[in-house]
């Protein structure tokens, strides 16, 4: 969780309507660092409101910003992209798809003026715009969109069948960075906008990277670990310890391929706010969700604040699996398997079996790797998840997988519950009301496992060549809780 100020924390526990949220929305007019503040353009605040959010089941954040279309007394001073003569479009049309956009917010008491200090809460690009009546709204995706829209156009071999030589060169984090460097960071249209020293890079952001030096000035994007800093975005203490054998990466969407790699061992790969020495920005982070943590990042008490309301509560046992068998090929091709059970879960919900099979070319080819996969799957699916939807004052600092303790309200809950954030949606009116809606679940899980378990499809990360999510049977579906064609014991 990001660290709020004492004032921001106090506002949450106060009476309803005691907070005011100010917005600052900036657009890079030429995608080369000419940032324009739309809250103070020609003396007018053009921003009416913003909504933004994210979910564990969707890799990109999304946002929608609503602007006033024209000045009150001068319709020709217009934000319409088709008004070429508008003074707002001097120097380049701003409201255009692919323009970079940043959203920042500041939360203050209701009687405080607009402050000078804001917190960055969203950074990405405009996907589309719509003009209706006296407003123009833009739909955006976060920085994930750059990698989502990039396609791997040339096949290339990655990994090494002898991963110890050179040491660590083929661990998961290194392969992910190599894929980004090869297929995005070195593209001519990208490099052209991000070259030169730190002081001269047009539109420099803290996430930028120079592949030649390994530093954080140059072309995006650099992969960060949980303990990464600007000087060393990937901290060796966070190494995954998992090396990949040689395979040919086929043509496919880049970010889809990256997420498949991370999903294989239950890691999360997404853009998120990251603090570190020299870095306070929204960057690409690869990390393992802490499934064992019980320490709440934040406590919310519906009984002491009218601002905090539990909207709904549900629980579903559909996705429970408390017996897991993982079949895998050992180095040399010998088929093997490993099984784990959870006695407490079986006692409560009955025996619920599932198994997966790793194909002959799978990267899971040692007992250690198979056991790690098996245990992660069991941890994610042995208990049902309670889902709580809660509405609060605007809390920009809460992130996915943060743990929130919801105090018993005597209506939905008679005891405190500590739950993980799996979805958040924030809605803000400029200089006025703002709220957050969180969906919470009972355990911290990786997105793909939760998503599939909820549909009675258990996540089965197979590594059959470059098609990394296809089961060995080719169906990719559970059959009565079991995948077909499991290898021999």
Residue 25: the pLDDT is 98
The per-residue pLDDT for range 49-70, each reduced to its tens digit, is 999 999 998 989 999 999 999 9
Query: What is the spatial order of strands in the sheet that 335-341 belongs to?
Result: 335-341, 323-329, 353-357
- Per-residue pLDDT of the chain (489 residues), as tens digits, is 999 988 888 776 666 567 899 999 999 998 878 899 999 999 899 999 999 999 998 989 999 999 999 987 777 799 999 998 899 998 889 999 999 999 999 999 888 888 989 999 999 999 999 999 999 999 999 999 999 999 999 999 999 887 566 666 789 999 999 999 899 988 877 766 554 444 333 344 444 554 455 455 455 788 999 999 877 889 999 999 888 888 899 999 999 999 999 988 889 999 999 987 778 889 999 998 887 788 999 999 999 888 899 999 998 888 899 999 999 887 666 889 999 999 999 999 999 999 988 877 677 878 888 898 889 889 888 988 789 999 999 999 999 999 999 999 989 988 899 999 999 999 999 999 999 999 998 854 443 333 333 332 333 333 333 233 222 322 222 222 322 222 222
What domains, with CATH codes, occur in the chain? Answer: 6-142 (2.40.10), 152-251 (no CATH)
Judge if the upstream peptide bond of residue 255 is cis by omega within 30 degrees of 0: no
pLDDT tens per residue, range 437-446: 999 988 544 4
* Amino acid 458: pLDDT: 36
Show Cβ contacts of residue 122 under 8 Å, excluding neighbours closer than 6 positions.
52, 61, 63, 101, 102, 103, 140, 142, 282
Q: List, in order, residues 6 or more apart from 267 with CB less than 8 Å away.
A: 172, 240, 286, 287, 288, 289, 446
CB count in 10 Å sphere of residue 248: 11
Is pTM beyond 0.85? Reply is no
- Residue 285 β-bridge partners: 224, 270
- What is d(CA 209, CA 60) in angstroms, rounded to the nearest whole number? 21
How far apart (Å, rounded) are the C-alpha atoms in residues 7 and 18?
Answer: 12
Are 441 and 419 within 8 A, CB to CB? yes
Six-digit token string for 466: 């470059």
Give how far Cα 167 sits from Cα of 158, 162, 239, 247, 368, Å. 15, 9, 12, 18, 19
Q: How many residues does the chain have?
A: 489
Quote the pLDDT of residue 164. Answer: 63
Q: Are 105 and 394 in contact (CB under 8 A)?
A: yes
Report the DSSP beta bridge partners of residue 421: 440
Which DSSP symbol is given to 408? P
The DSSP bridge partners found for residue 355 are 325, 482
- Counting Cα atoms < 13 Å in the Cβ hemisphere of 78 gives 14
Q: Rounded CA gap, 443 and 34, in Å? A: 43
Q: How far apart are CA 467 and CA 279, in angstroms?
A: 35
CB 463 within 8 A of CB 475: no
Tell me what pLDDT residue 278 has.
Answer: 77
Q: How far apart are CA 256 and CA 267, in angstroms?
A: 14
pLDDT of residue 14: 64
* String of DSSP letters for 107-150: EEETT----S--EEEEEEEEEEEEEETTEEEEEEEETHHHHHS-
Strand partners, 108: 20
CB atoms within 10 A of CB 409: 16
Please give the Cα distance from 464 to 361 (Å, whole number). 5
Q: What single-letter DSSP state applies at residue 330?
A: P
How far is residue 38 CA from its own chain's centroid? Answer: 26
Which tokens belong to 234?
């990937």
User: Distance of CA 180 to CAs 85, 172, 185, 275, 309, Å?
Assistant: 40, 13, 6, 22, 42
Between CA 362 and CA 368, with CA 367 as vertex, the angle to 5 degrees is: 100
């Amino acid at each position: 969780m990001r660290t709020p100020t004492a004032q921001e924390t106090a506002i949450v526990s106060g009476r309803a309507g005691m907070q005011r949220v100010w917005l600052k929305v900036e657009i890079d007019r030429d995608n080369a660092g000419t940032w324009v503040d739309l809250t103070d353009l020609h003396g007018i605040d053009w921003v009416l409101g913003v909504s933004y959010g994210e979910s564990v089941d969707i890799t990109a954040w999304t946002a929608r910003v609503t602007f006033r279309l024209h000045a009150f007394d001068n319709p020709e001073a217009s934000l319409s992209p088709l008004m070429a003569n508008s003074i707002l479009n001097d120097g380049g049309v701003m409201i255009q798809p692919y323009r970079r956009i940043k959203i920042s917010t500041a939360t203050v008491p209701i009687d405080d003026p607009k402050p000078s200090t804001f917190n960055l809460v969203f950074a990405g690009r405009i996907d589309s715009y719509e003009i209706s009546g006296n407003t123009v709204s833009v739909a955006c995706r976060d920085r994930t969109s750059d990698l989502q829209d990039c396609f791997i156009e040339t096949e290339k071999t990655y990994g090494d069948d002898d991963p110890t030589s050179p040491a660590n060169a083929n661990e998961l984090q290194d392969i992910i960075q190599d894929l980004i460097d090869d297929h995005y960071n070195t593209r001519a249209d990208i490099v052209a906008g991000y070259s030169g020293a730190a002081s001269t890079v047009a539109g420099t952001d803290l996430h930028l990277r120079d592949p030649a030096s390994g530093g954080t000035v140059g072309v995006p994007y650099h992969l960060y670990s949980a303990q990464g800093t600007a000087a060393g975005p990937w901290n060796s203490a966070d190494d995954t310890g998992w090396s990949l054998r040689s395979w040919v990466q086929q043509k496919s969407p880049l970010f889809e391929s990256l997420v498949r790699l991370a999903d294989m061992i239950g890691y999360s790969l997404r853009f998120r706010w990251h603090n570190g020495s020299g870095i306070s920005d929204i960057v690409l982070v690869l990390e393992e969700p802490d499934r064992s943590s019980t320490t709440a990042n934040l406590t919310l008490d519906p009984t002491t604040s009218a601002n905090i309301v539990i909207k709904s509560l549900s629980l579903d046992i559909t996705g429970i699996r408390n017996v897991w068998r993982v079949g895998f090929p050992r180095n040399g091709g010998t088929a093997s398997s490993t099984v784990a059970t959870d006695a407490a879960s079986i006692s409560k919900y009955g025996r619920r079996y599932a198994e997966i099979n790793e194909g002959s070319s799978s990267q899971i080819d040692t007992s250690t790797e198979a056991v790690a996969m098996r245990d992660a799957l069991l941890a994610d699916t042995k208990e049902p998840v309670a889902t709580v939807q809660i509405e609060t004052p605007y809390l920009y600092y809460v992130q996915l997988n943060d743990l929130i303790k919801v105090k018993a309200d005597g209506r939905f809950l008679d005891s405190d519950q500590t739950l993980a954030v799996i979805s958040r949606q924030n809605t803000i009116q400029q200089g006025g009301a703002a709220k957050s809606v969180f969906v919470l679940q009972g355990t911290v899980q990786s997105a793909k496992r939760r998503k599939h378990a909820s549909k009675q499809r258990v996540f089965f990360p197979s590594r059959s060549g470059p098609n990394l999510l296809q089961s060995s049977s080719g169906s990719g579906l559970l059959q009565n809780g079991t995948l077909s064609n499991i290898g021999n014991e």
